[in-house]
Structure 1
Amino acid sequence: MKLQRHGVSACLLAVTAASAVALAGCGSDNTPTANASGSASAGSSDCATGQISAEGSTAQGNAMDAWTQGYGKKCGASVTYNKTGSGAGVTSFTAGKVAFAGSDSSLKDTNQPAADKRCGAGNKAVDLPMVVSPIAVAFNLKNVSKLTLTPDAVASIFAGKITKWNDPAIAKSNPGVTLPATTITTVHRSKDSGTTDNFAKFLDAQSKSIWTFGTGQAWKAPGGKGVPGSADVVSAIKSTDASIAYVDGADAKKNSLVIAALDFGQGAVELSTDTIGTAVAAAKVTQTGSDIKLTLNYGLKQAGAYPLGLVTYEITCQKGLPAAQSKLVKSFLTYTSSDEGQDAAAAAGHAKLPKDLQTKVQAAVATIS
């Protein structure tokens, strides 16, 4: 997978997860100690033991569940990850409450200074891409098990301009499908969310004349049903007939939601690791030191590409964490960016990092001290 590169040497890292996992062999939250035996290994670095806390993105939750369990078994350490959403994760990180944050977006210029300050004088907080996650457009419509939508139709639905399931704009893409004249219920995230930000970027890029609400982690369109997290979106879709939502792809598949295919003008494109991988291959990579940011082309209309997705980040201090805590963060992220860690993420429903990007992430993690 080829990626464009811009900037200086860099690295990435992103770990996601969504639930607290306590494993054996813990010390205090800020004082992990080296593995006494020194025999176990996470990726290419030695294990660390002890305990750290992290929080943030729900999109990387399934990967983080797999990672915290896998690393705990391998190294006897406890990494607790709370799925509170990207905005809450970054806020907790900058306040010094967690060792790293999971985020569906890289640090913005407006919150970079606070994140840097948390790392101490002269130190930087870095963005480390770790998980590739598609965003599903999932729906619950009685007697309809397959649906294709154009980006314009998706934008019109979430903007409140298409309100009935049998609207001509939907029917046109679904010949032979009997669509009811039922009112559409849209479901969105009520708390700041990186998934919302990436979904809005997609609508803005693909259907700018229809989607007039801009981008950002806060949902800005009127109407619809707002719920806090990804698990709540899944629950709302399952329990509400004639509903539609944007939701983390891994959660959609894990919970057997019905996912719409998207037609960008060259036929229906199903959500899969291959189609999201094709879109990530077209991303621009900007590197500054050990900070790596990806810019996805949300307006991509390439055949076989599914450009509705995100790359989630782990945000931490390259330098400046307490020494023992830094060792555990570095060891854990070395594991998540290893082949073993990426295989675990794929088994949890995500796509693996492209090989060249994975190499850069591993190099970036190695600079944490």
Structure 2
Amino acid sequence: MKLQRSGFVAGIALTATIALTACGSDNESGGSGSGASAAPGSCVSGALTAQGSTAQKNAMDEWIKAYQGQCADAKVDYQGTGSGAGIEAFIAGTADFAGSDSALKEEEVAQADAKCPGGKALNLPMVIGPVAVVYNVQGVDGLQLSPATLAKIFAGGITKWNDAAIAAENTGAKLPDATIETVHRSDESGTTDNFTKYLSKTAEAEWTYGNAKAWKAPGGTGAAKSDGVATKVKSTPNTISYVELSFAENSDLQMAKIKNGAGEYVELTGASAGKTFENATVKGTDGDLALELDYNTKTAGAYPIVLVTYEIACSKGSAKAKEIQSFLKYTSSTAGQTALAELGYAPLPETLRAKVEASVASIA
């Protein structure tokens, strides 16, 4: 079930047509991406320190390599410490910008804004990272799971792979009489926040633990960061977990088909992940681009478990404003986004990419 790269090429074509509804003005300019790449003349010398989301770490590594290759006097150091740690570092002033799999929480906004004299902390969506439900069960290919069954598994209500609920959704599958071992992130993670938000929105009766960056449900096994989760599932029979697509692909893990709001069991592809953004809403104003997703989407062919990784950066007041703007101009450019297609990510829809580019251009 390894995702075919052609799916992401199709996803690019699809997402280019997606329109997101903004609560604020749509009069921002900058949709073409021309001039946004880090070409000689637009480079800014200096060093940036950033940390946070492991979901976007592979994207960051690629971006940094390309950016520093074009801007010899620039240096960007990004560490995948987890979304929670990244935001904490930004608030503490030890990170120039942070990567996060979730927009700033209400309780984090004031502290983050305080680090931006004369401005505010912006949520800048930069990478669409589909979340795969990965599993390691011998002889079981094409596993299908509804939100209710998935929630029961991770809440501990279903403990055997041959449980009647799983069997009913997988007619003909040879499900073993084996105990399910669920695996979750042991560190605070925006991936956990998005995954549990999906469960709370689509299986409210079965999932009573809400959503948070820290895992709250009892039982299961914790593993640190995305690569730790992927390694644990790869090496341990009868496990199931959630991890960003790029890590699932890199470890060649089996990925389940997930039932969406239209009643379809959908395989994770670039096109199916992109379709979930057809009903996304931009909630922020004045350059802030926090998104609200419809996890119970009824769009035909939509894969519903997706996350957007953000860069948290100051609109004004950062001592590294010019350096941050230069680097993020590249990541939000057409060239920067296109580079993601080969890494297990889906590029931003063009309408959203243009808004991110315009917001980055206003950083001062």
TM-score normalized with structure 2 length: 0.90
The separation in 2 between residues aligned to 1:237 and 1:63, in whole angstroms, is: 22
Change (3 A) 1:40 1:130: closer
The answer on 1:49 being equivalent to 2:45 is yes
Extract unaligned runs of 5+ from structure 1: 12-38
Please report how far the alpha carbon of residue 145 of structure 1 lies from its aligned counterpart in structure 2 after TM superposition: 2.7
Per-residue deviation at 1:244?
0.2
AA partner of residue 271 (structure 1): L
Aligned partners of 1:44 and 1:173: how far apart in 2?
56
Mapped to 2, the partners of 1:212 and 1:326 lie a distance apart of 42
Q: Is structure 2 residue 123 aligned with structure 1 residue 135?
A: no
For residue 107 of structure 2, what is the amino acid of its counterpart?
Answer: T
- Structure 2 residue 333 is matched with structure 1 residue 330: no
Please state how far the C-alpha of 1:213 moved relative to its aligned partner.
Answer: 0.6
Q: Which residue does the alignment assign to 1:24?
A: none
Contact 1:237/1:245 (8 A) holds in 2: yes
1:45 touches 1:331 (CA, 8 Å); kept in 2? no
Q: Distance in 2 between matches of 1:313 and 1:45?
A: 27
Aligned partners of 2:92, 2:47: CA distance in 1, in Å?
Answer: 18
Task: Provide the alpha-carbon RMSD of the alignment.
Answer: 1.9
Q: Which amino acid aligns with 1:327?
A: K
* Residue of structure 2 in register with 1:71 after alignment: 67
> Is it true that 1:248 corresponds to 2:244 in the alignment?
yes
Distance 2:86 2:136 in 1: 30
> Matches of 1:134 and 1:314 in 2, distance apart?
17
Cα distance in 2 for residues equivalent to 1:287 and 1:207: 27
Identity percentage of aligned residues: 48
Offset, 1:3:
1.1
Instruction: Read off the aligned partner of 2:306 and give its amino acid letter.
Output: G
User: Could you give the per-residue CA deviations for residues 89-135 of structure 1, whole angstroms, max 9, x where no partner exists?
Assistant: 00000111011000011111211111111112x32111111100110
Q: Is the 8 A contact 1:330 1:365 kept in 2?
A: yes
Question: Do 2:161 and 2:175's aligned partners in 1 also have CA atoms closer than 8 Å?
Answer: yes
Match of 1:292 in 2: 289
Question: Quick check: 1:174 aligned with 2:191?
Answer: no
* 1:261-293 deviation digits (Å, cap 9, x = unpaired): 112353320111111110012111123111111
Cα distance in 2, alignment partners of residues 261 and 204 from structure 1: 19
Correspondent of 1:104 among 78, 85, 101? 101
Structure 1 pair 287–8 and aligned structure 2 pair: CA distance change class (3 A): farther
Hey, what does 1:5 align to over in structure 2?
22
Count the aligned residue pairs.
340
Q: 2: CA distance between counterparts of 1:206 and 1:45?
A: 49
Deviation, structure 1 residue 336: 0.4
Q: CA deviation at 1:49?
A: 2.1
Residue of structure 2 equivalent to 1:190: 186
TM-score when scaled to structure 1?
A: 0.89
Residue range with higher mean Cα deviation, 265-274 or 303-312: 265-274
Amino acid at match of 2:335: E
Q: Matches of 1:319 and 1:198 in 2, distance apart?
A: 28
Task: State yes or no: 1:207 paired with 2:224.
Answer: no
Task: Please report how far the alpha carbon of residue 10 of structure 1 lies from its aligned counterpart in structure 2 after TM superposition.
Answer: 8.9
User: SS at 1:55's partner residue?
Assistant: strand
Which structure has greater helix proportion? 2
How big is each residue's C-alpha offset from its partner over 1:49-99, in whole Å with a ceiling of 9 and x where there is no partner?
Answer: 221110000111111111011111111221111001100000000111011
Gaps of 5+ in 2: 1-17, 29-34
